Each structure stands twice: as C-alpha cells, then as structure tokens.
Amino acid sequence: MTNSPLPITPADIDAAASVIAPYAVRTPLLSSPSLDALTGARVFLKPEVLQRTGSFKFRGAFNKLSSIPQATRGGGVVAFSSGNHAQGVAAAAQILGMQATIVMPADSPLSKRERTKGYGAEVVLYDRYTEDREAIAAAIAGPRGATLVKPYDDPFVMAGQGTVGREIAEDMAILGIVPDIVAAPASGGGLIAGIAVAVKARFADTSIIVAEPAGFDDHARSLRAGRREAHDNDSKTLCDALMALMPGELTFAVNQRLLSEAVSATDAEVGRAMAFAFRDLKLVVEPGGAVALASLLSGKFDARGKTVVIVLSGGNVDADMYAKMITATY
C-alpha cells in the first residue's frame, strides 16, 4: 500500500456529475420498514435499477464517451461487456451520435443483447470460456481508429460511477445522517472504487464494503494479499455481470486503500434477495445487482444497530430466469 495519488479524486467525480446531469437519472434513496425490522439496521437503498439502461453503467459510459475529442469520434467506440456496460456504452453513443460496437459473451442474457442492439450498436458474440474478449475488441478497434471503452479500468468510467456515491453522500447529508456502512457489488471494481472516493470525501469514517458472488471472490483475495489476485473459479454463477477474473489495476489502487471489507453471497442467497426486492420493495433486481442486498440479508457483515446504504446496481434480467428466481423455494 502506498500514499501515491489515487487514480480519481472527488473533483473528478464532481466534474462527471456535471457532464451526466442532463442525461442520467438521479436515483433516490429508498427505505423499507420491513427491511429495517428484518436486519435490525436502518437501511437505505440506492436503486440503480431505475437508472437509464437499467444499471449504473450508463453513468461511467456517458462520462467516458463525452471525454473523447470531437476529432476522433468518427471512428466510433468499441467495448466488451456481459451486458450492462454494453447497454450503457450503446445508449451513450446513440445520444452523442457515435457508432458503437460491443463484444458480448454468447451466453449473456438475451435481454441484454437485444437491448444493446436496440440502442443501435453492433454486437459481436464470443465464447467467454475459450476466447479473449479484450483481444477481439482491440482487433476491431485498431483498423477503425475506434476508441476502446473499458468497463471499469478507466479514470473517466470510474469517476462516472462515482456519481452514485456522490449522490448517496449528498442525500445522507441532507437527511442529517452519517452512514456507518455503504455496500455495493463489484466485478472489476469501478463502481465500488468511485463510491469509496465520493463517500469517504464527506464521511471519512464510513465503512465501504464490496460484495461478490460466492467463489468469485477476487476482491476478497486481493484485499487479504495486498495485491491483485484472481479467483480460481471456472464454473458459473447466476451473477453474470460479476464474473471478472481479478480487480482492475486502477480500481484496486483505490479499493486497496479505501475498502473496509469484502463479503460474498451464494446464488441461493442472491435468489432470496431478488425475491425480497420483488415482494417487499417492488423492485426488479438482476442477480449481480442483488449481491450486496443478499449479503446484508444473510448476515455476511455486522449491520445490527447501524445505518447502512445498499446499492442495487442493476435490473437487467431475462424474464424467464427472473420468474424462476422469485418463485423458487430455497
């Protein structure tokens, strides 16, 4: 751990907030008496399921694409994503009049693929278990002179995602409440890094907790080791949005210094959280978006008697899977 400057600052997040304000949804903080009673905590929910394109990813994508000089926008953009970053980039490109090509896993949810195409993007499918998505994207971008838009390891993307934390901090300050814990899901770590920078700028003592799918615990491993480490899981998880092999280089530079804890939730716990969100909160949350809520509900971190903010990071899920998840008996 070093004292070198972080890849993004609160000022970068403030700048991103100004850029995205005319286009992004400022999602509210919600509370639920039933959730408070169930957990023994005072819980606030940040529902990025209500964000444009159905996840927080629009924030970072729009901030990044807006930073591309006009002279180079003609080459378009290329991104790789399992679905939420794909939609965020496609929607941002459509607004800004740029061509987008997205490299997506062939097994990503059909709804995410179709919605990405619906924003006008070209979709290129690949096998996530045998092919290198970054190599495919680079091969496409090079000849076209396109800008590669990474899903998390980019300062503009991280700053855009950090506006989630900025809004949390602002709204909690308006309420006159200091959060004890802010918890959010992570794949490559861009969202939790941005949140950490923004929340810590106003509430230095707030604990920032990262939530991962069970077995895909690269953040937990990396935090313990003090360096980036990959998880060793070659199986699948329902949380298709959270399957990155290891934390990003830039994101971990932030998370190593600002995160307090890493927790995980099983697919069954995620399913119960999705069902709870449907039944009690009237919110549609995708598996990856429900991991922090699942970790709270299953007692993976000490929340009793504390004020907790949970980020519901996305709500893009195929209807048939969703129906099974919210009606299953666990």
pLDDT at 33: 96
The answer to whether residue 257 is domain-embedded is: yes
pLDDT at 330: 56
For residue 181, the SS3 value is strand
- Give phi and psi for 265, each to the nearest 5: -135, 145
Q: What string of DSSP letters covers 23-82? A: TS--PPPEE-HHHHHHHTSEEEEEEGGGSGGGBTHHHHHHHHHHHS-GGGGGG-EEEE-S
Residues 215 and 291 in one domain: yes
Q: What is the pLDDT averaged over residues 314-325?
A: 92
Task: List the structure tokens of 96.
Answer: 């800004």
Point out the domain boundary residue: 127, 149, 171: 149
Residues 104 and 21 in one domain: no
Residues 295 and 184 in one domain: yes
Task: Band the pLDDT of 189: cuts 50, 70, 90.
Answer: very high
> For strand 42-47 and strand 181-185, is the pairing parallel, antiparallel, or unpaired?
unpaired
Q: Where are the alpha helices (DSSP H) in 126-264?
A: 133-144, 155-175, 190-202, 218-225, 249-258
What crossing angle do the helices spanning 10-20 and 155-175 adopt, rounded to 10°? 90
pLDDT at 26: 98
For residue 214, the SS3 value is coil
For residue 270, what are the domain limits? Answer: 10-55+155-327
pLDDT at 2: 58
Point out the domain boundary residue: 149, 168, 194: 149
Q: Please give the tally of structural domains in the chain.
A: 2
pLDDT at 329: 64
- Tell me the β-bridge partners of 30: 45
Give the C-alpha distances (Å, rounded to integers) separating 238 from 113, 215, 275. 17, 12, 14
8 Å CB contact between 164 and 191: yes
The alpha carbons of the chain give a radius of gyration, in whole angstroms, of 18
Burial class (CB in 10 A: 0-12, 13-18, 19+), 122: middle
pLDDT at 110 over 90: no
pLDDT at 111: 84
What confidence tens digit (pLDDT) does each residue in 220-268 have? Answer: 999 999 999 999 887 789 988 888 889 999 999 999 999 999 999 999 9
What confidence tens digit (pLDDT) does each residue in 295-313 have? Answer: 999 999 999 999 999 999 9
Residues 102 and 204 in one domain: no
Full-model pTM: 0.95
- Tell me the β-bridge partners of 105: 126
What confidence tens digit (pLDDT) does each residue in 118-172 have? Answer: 999 999 999 988 999 999 999 999 999 999 999 999 999 999 999 999 999 999 9
The answer to whether residue 238 is domain-embedded is: yes
Residues 111 and 228 in one domain: no
Percent of the chain with pLDDT over 90: 88
Q: Phi-psi category of 120—alpha, beta or left, where left has phi over 0 and alpha has psi -120 to 50?
A: left
